[in-house]
Structure 1
Amino acid sequence: MSVSRRVALAAVAVLLLAGCSSNSQPANAWVEDEVTFDAAGLTVHGTYRHQHGDRQGPAALLISESGRTDRNGDNNVAGPIGNMRQLAEYLSDHGVASLRYDKVGTGKTGLGPYADHPADVGSAVYTTGAKAAVRFLANEAATDKNHISVYGLGEGTVHAMTLADDTSAGAPKIHAVGLLQPLAGRYLDLITNRVRADVAASVKAGQKNQQQADQTIAAWTAAVEQARKTGTAPAQLPDGLSAILNPGNVKAVVESDAIDPLKLAAAIPAATPVLLTCSDSDGQANCADITPLADALEHTSLSLVALKGVNHVLRDDPSDNVGNYSKPGPLSPQLTAALNAFINS
Structure 2
Amino acid sequence: MGALPAAAVRSEVGVPATDREITFTVDGTVTYGTLHIPVHRRGRQMPAVLLLPGSGPTDRNGDQPPAPTPHTLAKLAEALGRDGAVSMRFDKYGTGRTGLGAYAGNPETIDYPAFVRQADAAYRLLADQPEVDRRAVRLIGHSEGALTALQVAVTAESRAAGVGLLQPLAQRFLDVLARQLHDQLAAAVAAGQMSRQEQRTIGRAVDRAVADLRAHRPPDTTGMPPALAALFQALGGPNRRYVETIDALDPASVALRLPPRTPALLTCGTADQQIPCHTTTRLATALERAHTRGPGRIVLFDVAHDLTDPANPEVLAPATLDALHRFARHGTR
**Matches for 1:144-183 after TM superposition, within 5 Å:** 144-167=133-156, 171-183=157-169
* 1:31, distance to aligned residue in structure 2 (A): 1.1
* 1:117, distance to aligned residue in structure 2 (A): 1.2
* 1:249, distance to aligned residue in structure 2 (A): 1.9
Task: Assess, with a 3 A threshold, how the Cα gap between structure 1 residues 109 and 235 changes in structure 2: closer, same or farther.
Answer: farther
Which one is further off, 25-34 or 53-62? Answer: 25-34
Alignment correspondent of 1:240: 227
Task: Assess, with a 3 A threshold, how the Cα gap between structure 1 residues 334 and 328 changes in structure 2: closer, same or farther.
Answer: closer
Of 235, 243, 247, which residue of structure 2 is paired with 1:253? Answer: 243
Distance 2:66 2:206 in 1: 22
- Identity of paired residues, percent? 37
Q: Taking structure 1 as the reference length, what is the TM-score of the superposition?
A: 0.85
Alignment correspondent of 2:29: 42
Higher relative contact order (CA 8 A, sep 6+): 2
Alignment of 1:294 with 2:281, yes or no, is no
Alignment of 1:111 with 2:97, yes or no, is no
The answer on whether the counterparts of 2:103 and 2:110 sit within 8 Å (CA) in structure 1 is: yes
Alignment correspondent of 2:118: 129
* 1:328, distance to aligned residue in structure 2 (A): 5.7
Give CA-to-partner distance per residue, 1:110-158, whole Å, 9 cap, x none.
Answer: 1111111112222111111101100111111221111010000000001
Query: Could you say what secondary structure the match of 1:316 adopts?
Result: coil
Distance 2:77 2:229 in 1: 34
**Matches for 1:305-316 after TM superposition, within 5 Å:** 305-316=298-309
Segments of 5+ residues of structure 1 without an aligned counterpart are 1-24, 319-326
Alignment correspondent of 2:214: 228
* 1:279, distance to aligned residue in structure 2 (A): 1.1
Query: Could you say what secondary structure the match of 2:256 adopts?
Result: helix
Alignment correspondent of 1:96: 85
* 1:334, distance to aligned residue in structure 2 (A): 0.6
Q: In the alignment, residue 74 of structure 1 is paired with which amino acid? A: D
Distance 1:242 1:133 in 2: 36
Q: Taking structure 2 as the reference length, what is the TM-score of the superposition?
A: 0.88
Alignment of 1:275 with 2:261, yes or no, is no
Give CA-to-partner distance per residue, 1:3-45, whole Å, 9 cap, x none.
Answer: xxxxxxxxxxxxxxxxxxxxxx952411111010011211100
Segments of 5+ residues of structure 2 without an aligned counterpart are 1-11
The answer on whether the counterparts of 2:205 and 2:221 sit within 8 Å (CA) in structure 1 is: no
Query: Could you say what secondary structure the match of 2:88 adopts?
Result: strand
Query: Could you say what secondary structure the match of 1:297 adopts?
Result: helix
Task: Assess, with a 3 A threshold, how the Cα gap between structure 1 residues 315 and 243 changes in structure 2: closer, same or farther.
Answer: farther
Alignment correspondent of 1:80: 69
The answer on whether the counterparts of 2:209 and 2:221 sit within 8 Å (CA) in structure 1 is: no
Aligned Cα root-mean-square deviation (Å) = 2.0
Query: Could you say what secondary structure the match of 1:253 adopts?
Result: helix
Alignment of 1:194 with 2:180, yes or no, is yes
The answer on whether the counterparts of 2:205 and 2:220 sit within 8 Å (CA) in structure 1 is: no
Query: Could you say what secondary structure the match of 1:165 adopts?
Result: helix
